């Protein structure tokens, strides 16, 4: 293969193409202008904490908000769920909180090592919630599906929108540049928080209701967050 003149040619051309770039130098005036401009606002800064501390901050914020919301909200959902449903849903939602906290921390620091891509993270979270609800809860559709459903969607929005703003304030210390990814992850963490609060409150613990009005609203929230993030210059 190495003897193929085409292979030799591509390597040779790539090498000479890269080599032709090495003589590119910025003009001294440009360097001086940059140095002058940066020196004018040079003050000491505290480096961001490590990745694990950033994740702990978001996860701690998530847990504190979830505990506070569950404490003040109606707890009908807990009385209607079985022990297995409570435990599994708690595990899935806590894992979702951890996943989104990780993804936010990676995006706050340039050149962080991403263990998996954002679409993979979102797909994992979505599959866990959909799979968990589909397997754990009965497939009964109530007669008044819409009238029972929309108050849950509205409550989810009421919780998630301010929560997303709080998480944004926490994330602002990082290097956030308007992107769909940061919008999706911040709104994703807020959506998981709203799902957690709603799960303990909701009196309609059936799979169709939970999938459409709870998980569906969370998906819309994440999509909206991505669009807002993309639109911000």
Partner 1 sequence: MSEASIDDRELRNLMTQYQRADPAALNDLVRRVSPPLLRYFRSSRPGRNDAEDLLQECWIRIHRSRHTYRASEPVMPWIYAIARHTRLDAYRKRRRLESREVLVAAVPERFQDAAPEVLREPDGFDRLIAGLPETQREVLVLLKVSGMSLEEVAKATASTVGAVKQKAHRAYATLRRALAKDFDNAG
Contact 96, 125 (CB under 8 A): yes
User: Does residue number 106 form part of the binding site for partner 1 (CB under 8 A)?
Assistant: yes
The verdict on 57 binding partner 1 (CB under 8 A) reads: no
What is the Cβ-side half-sphere exposure of residue 47, based on CA atoms within 13 angstroms? 6
- SS percent in the chain: helix, strand, coil, step 5: 75, 0, 25
31 touches partner 1 (CB under 8 A): yes
Of 14 and 67, nearer to partner 1 (C-beta) is 14
Contact between 3 and partner 1 by CB under 8 A: the answer reads no
Query: Could you say whether residue 108 binds partner 1 (CB under 8 A)?
Result: yes
Q: Is 138 in the site for partner 1 (CB under 8 A)?
A: no
Helices (H), 40-173: 51-72, 76-80, 83-108, 118-136, 145-171
The CA distance from 208 to 215, in Å, is 10
3-class DSSP state of 218: helix
Residue 79 binds to partner 1 (criterion: CB under 8 A):
no
Chain positions 161 to 190 lying near partner 1, rule: CB under 8 A, are 173-175, 177-178
Kindly give, in sequence order, each residue whose CB lies less than 8 Å from that of residue 219, ignoring residues fewer than 6 positions away. 126
9: its two tokens = 């040619």
Stretch that binds partner 1, among 5-13, 65-73, 196-204, 214-222 (CB under 8 A): 5-13
Q: Which is nearer to partner 1, 109 or 220 (CB)?
A: 109
In the complex, least distance from residue 141 CB atom to partner 1, rounded to whole angstroms = 41
Nearer to partner 1, 22 or 147 (CB): 22
By CB under 8 A, name the one of 52, 82, 117, 141 that touches partner 1. Answer: 117
Q: How far apart are CA 147 and CA 152, in angstroms?
A: 10
Q: Which of 1, 2, 3, 41 contacts partner 1 by CB under 8 A?
A: 41
The answer to whether 185 and 103 have CB atoms below 8 angstroms apart is yes
Give the binding site for partner 1 (CB under 8 A). Answer: 5-7, 9-10, 13-18, 21-22, 24-27, 30-31, 33-35, 37-39, 41-48, 50, 106-117, 173-175, 177-178, 233
């Amino acid at each position: 293969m190495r003897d193929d003149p085409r292979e030799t040619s591509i390597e040779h051309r790539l090498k000479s193409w890269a080599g032709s770039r090495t003589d590119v130098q910025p003009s001294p005036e440009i360097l001086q202008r940059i140095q002058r401009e940066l020196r004018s606002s040079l003050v000491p800064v505290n480096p961001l904490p490590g990745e694990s501390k950033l994740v702990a901050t978001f996860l701690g914020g998530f847990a504190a908000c979830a505990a506070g919301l569950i404490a003040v909200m109606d707890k009908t959902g807990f009385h209607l769920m079985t022990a297995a449903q409570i435990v599994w849903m708690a595990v899935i939602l806590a894992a979702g909180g951890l996943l989104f906290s990780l993804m936010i921390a990676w995006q706050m620091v340039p050149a962080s090592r991403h263990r998996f891509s954002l679409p993979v993270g979102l797909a994992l979270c979505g599959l866990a919630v959909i799979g968990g609800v589909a397997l754990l809860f009965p497939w009964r559709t109530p007669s008044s599906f819409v009238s029972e459903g929309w108050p849950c969607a509205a409550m989810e929005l009421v919780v998630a929108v301010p929560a997303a703003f709080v998480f944004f304030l926490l994330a602002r210390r990082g290097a956030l540049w308007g992107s769909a990814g940061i919008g999706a992850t911040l709104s994703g963490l807020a959506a998981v928080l709203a799902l957690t609060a709603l799960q303990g409150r909701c009196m309609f613990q059936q799979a169709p209701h939970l999938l459409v009005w709870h998980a569906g609203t969370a998906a819309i929230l994440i999509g909206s967050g991505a669009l807002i993030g993309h639109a911000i210059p």
